[in-house]
Amino acid sequence: MPKLVVIGSNSFSGSSFVDYALDQGAEVIGTSRSQEPVDALLPYKWRANKQFRFHQLDLNGHLPEMMDLIKEFKPDYVVNFAAQSMVAESWRTPGDWFMTNAVSTIKLHDELRKCDFIQRYVHVSTPEVYGSCSGFVKEDFPFNPSTPYAVSRAAADMSLRTFHSAYQFPVVTTRAANVYGPGQQLYRIIPRTILFILLGRKLQLHGGGVSTRSFIHMKDVSDATWRIMDKGANGSTYHISTQEVVSIRELVERICKKLDVSFEDQVEMVGERLGKDAAYQLDSGKLRAELAWQDRVSLDQGLDDCITWVRKHFDTLKAQPYDYTHKP
């Protein structure tokens, strides 16, 4: 039975991975800076597995306590999903993004490298570090970040390269395409669109929805993350992505069709966000070849999955905040 510490376990990706890890028989400790939200936003709460413990610890303010917990538990693996993750909002108070994503994260790495019981550290990064690019890019594509968020993430990624080289720190890095699925925060495009349609509210579509993305179901991402954690090559980066690319407008149109509403009546076009990348697509061939991974959930299946989740928890979800709330 592997032992895991999942940092950022309240995040959508983190809580979904905890759920997946518990399904593999792992014993898991989760940490996040906030209290656990409502059960509808925590996929691991939808099971009866008791092999999970949660600790409310902030990477910025509780690193000593977090390290005490890790040293006592002695996990085989540490998987870090914690980050200030909103792109547009990072322009408002960029120092908060750099503190969490660069300074505090690098301090964490400097402590973890001294823990000889850790078999592998999984650093969950982002394709935002590449900036806007055309075509499917590989893991060695040059960094060209275009927002404070992306720059802060690139800084930690580059620091980890030096840690692996200097200390043989057993790190693997993941960069996933646009993740989605049941349990996702309501300010993200897919759950927000579904919820607003069911509420009869208009959805603002920034820049007309012309930017393109590859949306990948969190089940496929969790499966990939587990494989990378278990069998990935230390020092390597792995892209996790489907090969289907859609515009944001097309995505919203699909949801409108599934819920039998008019796109024109449901959507209000507004200006584009500052620094938003027009496109990024990830070549996931390395992951497929080395670790025999493949995506299994199509976008249409995944959207149906999300609609079912919103309908099931509608009374709870409609009472939650719809917009991102920044926490320094």
CATH number for position 203: 3.90.25.10
Same domain, 154 and 199: no
Per the domain annotation, does 325 fall within a domain?
no
Which one, of 84, 160, 95, 170, lies nearest residue 128 by Cα? 84
Phi, psi of 119 (to 5 degrees): -75, -35
- How far apart CA 202 and CA 195 sit, in angstroms, is 10
Helix (H) or strand (E) run with residue 315 in it: helix 314-317
CA angle 28, 41, 109 (to 5 degrees): 45
Detail the DSSP E strand segments found in 186-318.
203-206, 212-213, 215-217, 237-240, 246-247, 267-270, 281-282
Same domain, 9 and 113: yes
Per the domain annotation, does 130 fall within a domain?
yes
Would you mind telling me the total number of residues written for the chain in this entry?
A: 328
Per the domain annotation, does 324 fall within a domain?
no
- How far apart CA 321 and CA 319 sit, in angstroms, is 7
State the pLDDT at residue 271. Answer: 65
The domain containing residue 222 runs over which residues? 3-179+215-240
Cβ-based neighbour number of residue 246 at 10 Å: 17
Helix (H) or strand (E) run with residue 125 in it: strand 120-125
Per the domain annotation, does 223 fall within a domain?
yes
Same domain, 164 and 311: no
CATH number for position 143: 3.40.50.720
State the pLDDT at residue 47. Answer: 85
Per the domain annotation, does 12 fall within a domain?
yes
State the pLDDT at residue 300. Answer: 97
- How far apart CA 81 and CA 303 sit, in angstroms, is 24
Which one, of 313, 312, 318, lies nearest residue 197 by Cα? 318
- How far apart CA 128 and CA 277 sit, in angstroms, is 8
State the pLDDT at residue 276. Answer: 55
- How far apart CA 194 and CA 182 sit, in angstroms, is 11
Same domain, 138 and 193: no
Per the domain annotation, does 44 fall within a domain?
yes
Helix (H) or strand (E) run with residue 25 in it: none
Query: What is the full per-residue pLDDT of the chain (328 aa) written as tens digits?
Result: 899 999 999 999 999 999 999 999 999 999 999 999 999 999 999 987 679 999 999 999 999 999 999 999 999 999 999 999 888 889 999 999 999 999 999 999 999 999 999 999 999 999 999 988 778 899 999 999 999 999 999 999 999 999 999 999 999 999 999 999 999 999 999 999 999 999 999 998 887 888 888 999 999 999 999 999 999 999 999 999 999 999 999 999 999 999 999 999 999 887 666 555 556 789 999 999 999 999 999 999 999 999 999 999 999 999 999 887 777 7
State the pLDDT at residue 174. Answer: 98
Per the domain annotation, does 326 fall within a domain?
no
Same domain, 235 and 130: yes
Q: Hunting for tokens 């409609």 — which residue is that?
A: 318
- How far apart CA 143 and CA 26 sit, in angstroms, is 35
Question: pTM score, two decimals?
Answer: 0.94
Which one, of 17, 5, 13, 18, lies nearest residue 57 by Cα? 5
